[in-house]
Structure formats: C-alpha cells, structure tokens
Structure 1
Amino acid sequence: MNEIIELLSFSFFRNALIAATLTSLIAGIIGSYIVARRNVFISGGITHASFGGMGIAYYLGFPPFVGAAIFAVLSAVGIEWSSNKAGIREDSSIAILWSLGMAIGILFVFLTPGYTPNLMGFLFGDILTVQMLDLIWLAVISIICIALLKFFYPTVLSVAFNSEFAQVSGLPVQAIKYISAILVAMAIVLSIKVMGIILVLSLFTIPASAANLFSKDLKKMMINSVIISVIGSVSGLLIAYYLDLPSGATIIFTLTISYGILRVVKLFKY
C-alpha cells in the first residue's frame, strides 16, 4: 500500500492513472455504440488509416498527432459517405482505408531521413508519457460524449439499433452518423498515445463486449463497459509497473482475461 502511495507522488504515474480512467470512459461509451451497431472494425479502420497522417506529418516536420487527427476524421467521414452515397459496402470501405492509411504511413516513414523512434512508438503506445495537454483533450472528449448522450440519447439509441426506423421517423440519422464517426475518430486518436495503433481496437471492443454479456440496454451497457474498462486498465497499469511489462499490452491482456472470466460467470449463472 505504501508503495502505491509513493507511486502517486510521481506526476507521470498520476497522469497515467487519469489517462487510463478518461480513456476507459471514452472507450466504454463509444465502444458500446459501435458494438451495438455491430461495426467494431470501424475503429480498427480509422486507427490504422490514421497512421498515414502520422507518416506525412512526421515527414513534413509537423506533430504526428495533428496528421493522425486529420486522417482519422477524413477516414471516418469517408467511410460513412462511401457506404451511404457511393454505394460501397461499409466493410469494403473500412478495408480500403485501413490498408491505404498503413501503406501511406509506411512509405512516408521510409522517406523520412534518419530513424523515427517516436513514430514507431505510436504503434504500441506508452501511457507513462502522457502529458497534461493530452489529459485536457481526453477530458474534453469525455465531456462531449456525456453531453451528447444526455441530450440526444433517444436518437443515438434509435440509430444504433434500427437506423431504418429512425430515418422513417424523421430523425437526423445521417447527421448523427457523421457526428458519431468524427467523435470515434477523435477518441481513437487520443487513445493511440495510451494504447498504440495496434491495440486500440481491443480497447474499444473488449469492455463493451463483456458488458454486452449481461445487458442489452445500451445505457446500462455503457455504464458497465466503463466500469470494466476502468478496472481492467488501472489493474493492467499496476501489473505492468510491478512486472516491468509494456503497459498497453498488459492492459489489453488484463481486459481479455476479465472478459473470459465474465464469460464463464455467465455460462454458470444461466
């Protein structure tokens, strides 16, 4: 216990705990939405597409996260537009942008003179390097997510489970889809520093899938997903510290084990 109190005296560890909590809040809410829509791979597509923006930004000398944010938002809007207006299946759009973004990123990393360790670090993340500005952005996205749910929950619920009925009912389905896609994109970009490009998909999927085992109500699912994500992320962070392991991979491993345990509990309970 004393060692944990001593750890909290270090600003980098406090920042890591706050980042884990805020990221879990965002991933729990948005992850539940994309799981409810049965479209979990949109987060993977946006994440990997953002690598192209990182590569270009790094090559031009700009902050990589600026390029990642631009590419992520354009990819999210592009997926929604191509599946609704261009007649391309959504899974095909995701696959195309996924591979295109990675290809562009790899090409520009290759073209950048010298070694690029910082860019490579984005593939796996490092929650211990989170700065105050990152926490502010995570807090802003968290507040936006909560505010949208508070004021537009019925519309979000209708779009998530039955977008055709919502469209017939006169709800702004396309607007909600575009706004949610952009929000997913921004949440993913902010989560990359914590989990890395490779592991972000799992962060947005595993807690929501675990919560979905016990609840079909979207609001309850989001709450349970946030709880599972916070417990798994904080536990994984502490385990990573004590065993000197990569934080992102340890958090995902912990969340996966938690999912397995909850799955067994459900089998025995029902």
Structure 2
Amino acid sequence: MDFINALFTQSFLRQALLVGVLASLAGGLVGPYVVVRRIGYLAGGIAHTVLAGMGIAYFIGSSPIVGAFVCAIVAALLIGSISLSGVDQEDTLIGALWAVGMAVGVLFISQTPGYNANLMSYLFGNLLLSSEGLVKVLLAILVGLAVILWLIHRPLTAVIFDEEFARLRGVPTKFLYLLLLCLVAVTVVLLLQAVGLIMVIALLTLPAALAGHHARSLAGMMLIAAIAGSVFTIGGLALSWQADLPSGATIVLLAGTGYIISLLSRRLIRRFTA
C-alpha cells in the first residue's frame, strides 16, 4: 500500500514506473527473436561492449546514454560480421570483444575525475534516478522498434526458423540478421534504464523464455513476454521500494523466479497429462 500511495504523491516514482514498463515492452518485442534464434551470447557480447561507449562518453563530457547507443550499434555490426563470417573460434572472438569492451570502459571511467551516481545506475540499474524527459524518448524509440518489426516480421521470421530456405527464396538473410542485432543493441540500451548493464540480458531473455512455455507463435511470445516483463518490472520496483532494495537486482530476481516457476509448472502439467 505504501508503494501505491507513493505513486499518487511522488512524480519521480510514476516516471520510474513508466520508464521500466516501456523498457520491458521493448524487451518483449525483441527478446523472442533472441530466444528463438538462440543468439543470447551475441546479445551478451553487445550488451557488455556498451560499457566502452559509456566510459568514453563520460570521459569526454558527453552523455553516457549517447555513447551507449553508438557503441551498441557498432558492436552489433562487428559481432554480427564475425558470426556471419564463419571463422573458427567464433565464441572466443566474441568473448574477447566482450572483455575488451568492458576493459576500455573501466579504464576511461577510472581516468575521469569524480564520482557519477548516474553512471553507477547504468551499471546496476536504478529506475528512481530516471531523468526527466526520458519517458518521451523511450516511447519514441519503442514506437520505432514496433514499426520496424512490423515491416520485417514475416521475412525475419523466415530467417529465424529456416535461414537456408529463406535464402533460397531470395530473402536478404544477412541484412536481416544484422538488422536484428542492431534492434537487439537498441533494446539493450533501453533495458539499461531498468536493470543496468550487468543484468540486462536477464530481462531481455527471461520473459521471452517464459513466454515460449505458453505460446505457439512468435507473435504470441512477443505479447506474453511484454506482459511478463512489465509485471516483473512493476513488481520488482514495488518490492524494492517497500524493502529498500536495489531495483535492478529485485526485478531480475523476480523474473528469474517467474521463469523457474513457469518451467516447473510446465513439466508438472506434461507429466500429469502424458
């Protein structure tokens, strides 16, 4: 009840709630593609490379979120090119890029005088520190994501489920694959606002994986994942407010618990109906 009452009296809390829901909706749109295509490790590489862009932007006095967007797109194209090239030890190269990106970010942050609480919120997540105007920006980006996915949904679905067949049908599979990774990159930066860089992959994949237990189509997965992600975000924010806990960690813990419950219930249902 304290959380509900605070929503009516504290504008920053309402703003935090809206930011978290918008980020979760973006994750619900893109997460199912990541889960079905099984590119979680690529998304992880993109996410953690983002720290380099944030550190450089912070060092030169620019906005860390701008640096995150630029670095995320560059990392998506670079990691996507490595994945498509078919080189040996692809996972090692992506892991190296992941580590180097984080190292570059840490070095630039260490050379910047002073302590920035907002930067720490990008790393560990703190919805309560969401800046004014962020809701409108996230809403515009979310609408853009939805429009792009609506336009390319059918060919992208063909690429995800049967890339070879799609290629034979003349679908530009490489372009769509790189575009998907760019959309993942944008979504990762949006989710940073909710749970931070360290735990961003959890909120991108867990609601989508949960949705996969109950949906029979990609569109169904997107709907359930968006709803589940929003519920986890709202519930996590409420719990963190009541218990004075870090919001990002609470949201991810709630999402993980929800996924485990969904997985166990699905297995129990299968056992009793077999």
TM over 0.5: yes
| Distance change in 2, residues 1:214/1:240 (3 Å) | same
Distance in 2 (CA, whole Å) between partners of 1:215 and 1:115 is 45
Question: SS of the counterpart of 2:17?
Answer: helix
1:151 corresponding residue in structure 2? 151
- Say whether the 8 Å CA contact 2:118–2:129 is kept in structure 1: no
Q: Which amino acid aligns with 2:101?
A: G
CA contact (8 A) 1:36 1:160 kept: yes
Match of 1:63 in 2: 63
Q: What's the counterpart of residue 257 of structure 2?
A: 257
- Tell me how far apart the structure 1 counterparts of residues 91 and 215 of structure 2 sit (CA, whole Å): 26
Give the match for residue 43 of structure 1. 43
Moved over 4 A (4+): none
Deviates more, 1:79-88 or 1:53-62: 79-88
Post-superposition offset of 1:25: 0.8
| Contact 1:83/1:89 (8 A) holds in 2 | no
Shift of 1:3: 5.6
Distance 1:120 1:15 in 2: 19
For 1:188, the equivalent position in structure 2 comes to 188
The corresponding residue for 2:199 is: 199
Alignment correspondent of 2:97: 97
Go from structure 1 to structure 2 and tell me whether the alpha carbon gap of 1:99 and 1:4 turns closer, same or farther (over 3 Å shift).
same
1:207-266: per-residue Cα shift (whole Å, max 9, x none)?
111111223421111111111111111111111111111111001111111111111211
d(CA) in 2 for partners of 1:127 and 1:150? 29
- Aligned amino acid, residue 247 of structure 1: S
The question of 1:235 aligning with 2:235 is answered yes
**2: CA distance, partners of 1:89 / 1:83:** 10
Structure 1 partner of 2:164: 164
1:161/1:8 CA distance change after superposition, 3 Å? farther
Identity %: 36
Deviations 1:26-51 (A, max 9, x none): 11111111101011122221111010
Distance in 2 separating the partners of 1:93 and 1:159: 24
Q: How does 1:1-40 map to 2 (within 5 A)?
A: 1=1, 4-40=4-40
Match for 2:103: what amino acid?
A: A
Q: Which residue number in structure 2 is paired with residue 119 of structure 1?
A: 119
Aligned residue for 1:218?
A: 218
The aligned length equals 270
Distance 2:72 2:259 in 1: 28
Q: Taking structure 2 as the reference length, what is the TM-score of the superposition?
A: 0.92
- Structure-to-structure mapping, 1:64-79, within 5 angstroms: 64-79=64-79
Q: Is the 8 A contact 1:53 1:67 kept in 2?
A: yes
Q: Is the 8 A contact 1:57 1:66 kept in 2?
A: yes
